[in-house]
Structures are given as structure tokens and as C-alpha cells.
């Protein structure tokens, strides 16, 4: 048996199971205090014990939404399972925001943007009616919802992992569109290991407000510069 402990508001790594069914055990009283990725499902409520069984070669991740550390028991040794996304890979590294001017020189950024938001893990160029967002490799944005707007995403480059509502889409091809309606869970993760950015074009309907974000899982908040 393999035991893993995760702090509150943190999650496990996103892993890919091996050739045998993986059975996960946690305190039954905490089933309503976790979020669970079981392959293509992103579950936030009414999680049954059956959902804690991971089929061979399926993806899995647990997010602790309780107010205390969570102990997870696996019936198998998971140390050889493929790590698809490690939210904390750079937790102890120095964080520096992306330099917009240097970034524009290195990438073919369309002219006409009216603003930009530069972070150490992403950079967003805002145009009159859309955003152009670049996500660094091995990183992602928070899992979030909006009350005042819906969003439409078009994947332009990279093969990201997308959460859209209660579904997870893996290694999405360029040209794929997603509609995130009001209150819908969504995120984008760039699992690329070759320092290549994932790029998306974002349109919106409703009122765009940078403060209109509820982050239900935000690994980037644990990082300090």
C-alpha cells in the first residue's frame, strides 16, 4: 500500500495509471471535500467510492478542499506511474514575470493590442474583442469560474489539457474550440516538456472583469517570487 498526504487546497500530481486497476481510499467523511479527476471526468460533488477506482491507463488526480491535510491510500505502488502534470514542479524556484517587450521580439505577436498582463507562468495580450494567452510549458492556470461572463477558447498552438465543465480533454489539437458558459469550471494546462508555449485565443460574452474569477484550485498561489 502506498500512502500520500496532501495539504488543504493542494492536489496530487496528475498521473496516468499503469496496467492494473488502482483503488484509492480516503476517509468517507471527506468524499464531499475533494475534487477528483478520473480520466475524462472532473468531479466536484457526489463522489462515490466506485469513482475512486481508476481503470488501467486512465488519468487521475485528487484535490483537497477540506480544512485539514488529507491522507490518501493507494492499493498499488504509484511511483512508476507517468506524471502528466506536476502543479508544484517550480514551487521552490525563483519566479520572474515574462518580459513583454522581449517576448514580442521572440514571438509573432499581432499588432494592435491595448493591454497585457504578464505573470511568471503566462502572458496575456488584450485586443478590442479578444485575448491572446500564452502558457509556459509544465504549467497551467487555476481551475476557475466566472459569474459575469462566458468564454470561448480556440487552441492555436500546443496540445494542452483542458477542463471544460465536468469533462477533461487531453492533448487537444490546434483548431479545437471550447465554450465555457457562466459558472462553468475551466482551466488550461500545458503539459509540454520542451519549453514550448501553449497558445489560445479567448473571446467572451457578458461583462469582462479581471476580478470576476473564483479560483477553486490555484497551485500558482503557493509560489513566491
Are 110 and 183 contained in the same domain? yes
The answer to whether the CB of 63 falls within 8 A of the CB of 111 is no
User: Pick from 5, 53, 10: which is nearest to 34 by CA?
Assistant: 10
Are 68 and 107 contained in the same domain? no
91 is a domain residue = no
Angle at 68 between CA 64 and CA 70, to 5 degrees: 50
- Report residue 109: phi and psi, to 5°: -85, 125
- Report residue 154: phi and psi, to 5°: -120, 125
Q: What is the pLDDT of residues 142-163, one digit of tens each?
A: 999 999 899 999 999 999 999 9
Are 193 and 115 contained in the same domain? yes
Q: What is the pLDDT of residues 13-62, one digit of tens each?
A: 999 999 999 999 999 889 999 999 999 999 999 999 999 999 999 999 99
The predicted pLDDT at position 96 comes to: 81
Are 55 and 126 contained in the same domain? no
Domain total of the chain? 2
User: Domain boundary residue among 50, 85, 120?
Assistant: 85
pTM of the model: 0.93
The predicted pLDDT at position 224 comes to: 44
The answer to whether the CB of 182 falls within 8 A of the CB of 206 is yes
Q: What is the pLDDT of residues 163-172, one digit of tens each?
A: 999 999 999 9
The predicted pLDDT at position 127 comes to: 95
Q: What is the pLDDT of residues 77-119, one digit of tens each?
A: 999 999 999 999 888 888 888 888 888 888 989 989 999 998 8
159 is a domain residue = yes
61 is a domain residue = yes
The predicted pLDDT at position 222 comes to: 56
Give me the CATH number covering residue 189. 2.60.120.10
Task: Report CA Rg, the chain.
Answer: 18
The predicted pLDDT at position 73 comes to: 97
217 is a domain residue = yes
Are 30 and 111 contained in the same domain? no
Are 154 and 130 contained in the same domain? yes
The predicted pLDDT at position 97 comes to: 82
Q: Any idea what DSSP says for residue 11?
A: B
Are 27 and 104 contained in the same domain? no
User: Domain boundary residue among 52, 85, 118?
Assistant: 85
Are 73 and 111 contained in the same domain? no
The predicted pLDDT at position 91 comes to: 84
Q: What is the pLDDT of residues 190-225, one digit of tens each?
A: 998 888 999 999 998 987 777 788 999 998 875 543
Are 154 and 189 contained in the same domain? yes
The answer to whether the CB of 156 falls within 8 A of the CB of 202 is no
94 is a domain residue = no
Total residue count of the chain as it appears in this document: 225
153 is a domain residue = yes
Query: Exposed, middle or buried by CB within 10 Å (0-12, 13-18, 19+), for 47?
Result: buried
Q: Where are the alpha helices (DSSP H) in 1-154?
A: 100-106
3-state secondary structure of 51: helix
The predicted pLDDT at position 225 comes to: 39
Domain of 215? 100-222
Are 137 and 216 contained in the same domain? yes
Amino acid at each position: 500500500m502506498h500512502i500520500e498526504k496532501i495539504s488543504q487546497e493542494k492536489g496530487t500530481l496528475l498521473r496516468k495509471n499503469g496496467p492494473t486497476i488502482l483503488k484509492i481510499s480516503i476517509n468517507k467523511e471527506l468524499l464531499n471535500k475533494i475534487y477528483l479527476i478520473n480520466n475524462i471526468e472532473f468531479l466536484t460533488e457526489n463522489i462515490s467510492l466506485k469513482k475512486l477506482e481508476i481503470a488501467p491507463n486512465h488519468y487521475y488526480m485528487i484535490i483537497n478542499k477540506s480544512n485539514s491535510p488529507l491522507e490518501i491510500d493507494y492499493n498499488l505502488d504509484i511511483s512508476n506511474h507517468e506524471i502528466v502534470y506536476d502543479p508544484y514542479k517550480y514551487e521552490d524556484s525563483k519566479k520572474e514575470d515574462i518580459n513583454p517587450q522581449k517576448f514580442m521580439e521572440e514571438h509573432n505577436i499581432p499588432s494592435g493590442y491595448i493591454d497585457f498582463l504578464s505573470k511568471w507562468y503566462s502572458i496575456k495580450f488584450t485586443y478590442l474583442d479578444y485575448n491572446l494567452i500564452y502558457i509556459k510549458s509544465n504549467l497551467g492556470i487555476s481551475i476557475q469560474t466566472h459569474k459575469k461572463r462566458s468564454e470561448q477558447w480556440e487552441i492555436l498552438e500546443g496540445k494542452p489539457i483542458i477542463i471544460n465543465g465536468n469533462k477533461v480533454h487531453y492533448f487537444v489539437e490546434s483548431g479545437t474550440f471550447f465554450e465555457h458558459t457562466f459558472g462553468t469550471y475551466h482551466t488550461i494546462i500545458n503539459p509540454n516538456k520542451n519549453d514550448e508555449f501553449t497558445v489560445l485565443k479567448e473571446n467572451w460574452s457578458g461583462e469582462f472583469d479581471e476580478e470576476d474569477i473564483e479560483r477553486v484550485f490555484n497551485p500558482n498561489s503557493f509560489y513566491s517570487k
